[in-house]
Amino acid sequence: MISLELINEDNLTAPDAAQFQTWLHQVAEKLKINGEVCIKIVDEAESQALNHTYRGKETPTNVLSFPSDVPDFVESTYLGDLAICASIVVSEAT
């Protein structure tokens, strides 16, 4: 089982926590993993800022992933973070 923290501070159009949890459950079963994930729904400005900071790119992007940086010797189930740009994902899907 993968537990989810979903952050959508600006109430951007995106699937709700229940839908994300369904998808995460399917992934967890397939990969036989457990853990915790944080998904943040962002706008294009925040996506661009994150993409610039972490990848040196000046454009927004659809999804950025940030794996956990907890050292192996620390007991943790935290898998990492995803930043999803709602408007870009929608435009790519249509």
At 56, which CATH number? 3.40.390.30
Model pLDDT, residue 51: 98
Number of independent structural domains in the chain? 1
Which residue stretches of the chain have pLDDT < 50?
Answer: none
Model pLDDT, residue 46: 98
Domain extent for 49? 2-93
Q: Specify whether the CB–CB gap between 85 and 43 falls below 8 A.
A: yes
* CA–CA separation, 49 and 52 (whole Å): 5
- Please write the tens of the pLDDT for every residue from 42-62: 999 999 999 999 999 999 999
Q: Which two tokens stand for residue 92?
A: 């790519």
Model pLDDT, residue 7: 97
Residue with tokens 């994300």: 20
Is the full-model pTM beyond 0.85?
yes
Q: Which two tokens stand for residue 13?
A: 């159009």
